[in-house]
């Protein structure tokens, strides 16, 4: 209940305190910059050597043939229609997720689909239309994202080609893409990754995938066998509970409910 109260009150607080909002926005921007810097450090790139730098114009010209303007947008559209679209359609047919409405999953409350649909309709009669618009907007936004990323992708690919291919190899690749067949391949190569045939082949191997996950689960359980179980709510002593309450600011009832939910989830995960 406390989370719902905070969610409803948040917009009013933001309207009444613009300075605080600005500060929060600045803090979020700082954290975002820090996160981006950390991610960038995960993928360090060696600067091009003078020899590689000399090949960069040829590599850049080649990338323009391999990835003409609009390629990333076309690839996203193809991927969305061929892969993400059917998955989202399946999710739509399966009905709403109760946790997005009341904070509890339908499996926790042991409710059937009819009861979940009724609750969803009470809280948000337009949930299905909202979900459809979300999906449509997601496609549009992803398309815009791909278009915005395309120049950087081209730049990165050009540097990678300049670093990994000799001038003679680049010229040979460029000669191929200058042919009708090469140009057709360049235009279709990115879209092929989301071809329904490839997805169908991958999905046909799901039994092997599930078997692998099951085996991984068993091995993971064996690997953790010598470690003591993490504490549940009842295993906490009074001082430990009080310290958690002090740190989080939640009520003892919220802590109890939350930790019991975690215990249930852990028990379910352990049963697989």
* Nearest in space to 120 (alpha carbons), one of 244, 263, 111, 163: 111
- Both tokens of residue 39? 């991610």
Q: How many domains does the chain have?
A: 2
- Asked if 121 contacts 95 with a C-beta cutoff of 8 angstroms, the reply is no
Q: What is 78-89 written as a DSSP string?
A: HHIIIIIHHHHH
**Beta-carbon count within 10 A of 237 CB:** 9
The residue behind tokens 């950390």 is 38
* 179/245 same-domain check: no
pLDDT of residue 11: 40
pLDDT of residue 184: 86
* 187/251 same-domain check: no
- Asked if 171 contacts 55 with a C-beta cutoff of 8 angstroms, the reply is no
Give the sign of the dihedral formed by CA 20, CA 24, CA 27, CA 33: negative
Give the sign of the dihedral formed by CA 107, CA 111, CA 115, CA 120: negative
Enter the DSSP assignment of 97: -
* 95/198 same-domain check: yes
211 within domain boundaries: no
5 within domain boundaries: no
* 94/198 same-domain check: yes
pLDDT of residue 7: 38
Cα 20 to Cα 3, 10, 25, 221: the distances in Å are 20, 12, 8, 47
Q: pLDDT 10s digit of each residue in the chain, 272 long?
A: 333 333 333 443 344 444 545 557 777 777 777 877 787 777 777 899 999 999 999 999 999 888 888 888 877 777 666 666 666 666 666 667 777 777 666 676 677 778 878 877 887 888 888 878 888 888 888 888 888 888 988 999 999 999 999 999 999 999 998 899 988 887 777 667 667 777 677 777 778 877 887 888 788 888 888 888 888 889 889 999 999 889 888 899 989 888 888 888 878 776 65
* 87/186 same-domain check: yes
pLDDT of residue 50: 95
Structural domain boundaries enclosing 101: 49-204
* 163/249 same-domain check: no
């Amino acid at each position: 209940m406390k989370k719902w109260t905070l969610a409803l009150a948040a917009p009013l607080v933001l309207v009444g305190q613009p300075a605080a909002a600005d500060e929060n926005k600045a803090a979020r921007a700082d954290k975002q910059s820090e996160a981006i810097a950390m991610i960038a450090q995960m993928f360090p790139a060696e600067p091009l050597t003078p020899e590689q730098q000399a090949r960069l114009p040829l590599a850049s010209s080649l990338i323009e043939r391999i990835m003409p303007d609009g390629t990333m947008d076309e690839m996203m559209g193809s991927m969305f229609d061929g892969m993400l679209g059917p998955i989202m359609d399946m999710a739509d047919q399966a009905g709403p997720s109760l946790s997005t409405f009341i904070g509890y999953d339908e499996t926790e409350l042991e409710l059937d689909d009819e009861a979940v649909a009724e609750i969803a309709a009470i809280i948000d009669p337009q949930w299905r239309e909202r979900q459809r618009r979300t999906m449509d907007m997601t496609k549009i936004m992803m398309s815009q994202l791909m278009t915005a990323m395309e120049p950087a992708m081209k730049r990165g690919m050009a540097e990678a080609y300049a670093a990994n291919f000799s001038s003679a190899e680049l010229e040979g690749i460029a000669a191929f893409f200058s042919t009708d067949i090469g140009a057709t391949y360049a235009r279709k190569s990115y879209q092929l990754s989301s071809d329904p045939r490839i997805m169908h082949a991958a999905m046909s191997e799901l039994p092997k995938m599930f078997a692998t996950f099951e085996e991984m689960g068993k091995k993971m359980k064996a690997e953790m066998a010598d470690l003591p179980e993490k504490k549940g709510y009842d295993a906490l002593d009074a001082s430990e509970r009080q310290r958690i309450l002090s740190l989080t600011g939640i009520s003892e009832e919220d802590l109890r409910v939350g930790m019991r939910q975690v215990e249930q989830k852990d028990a379910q995960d352990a049963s697989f």
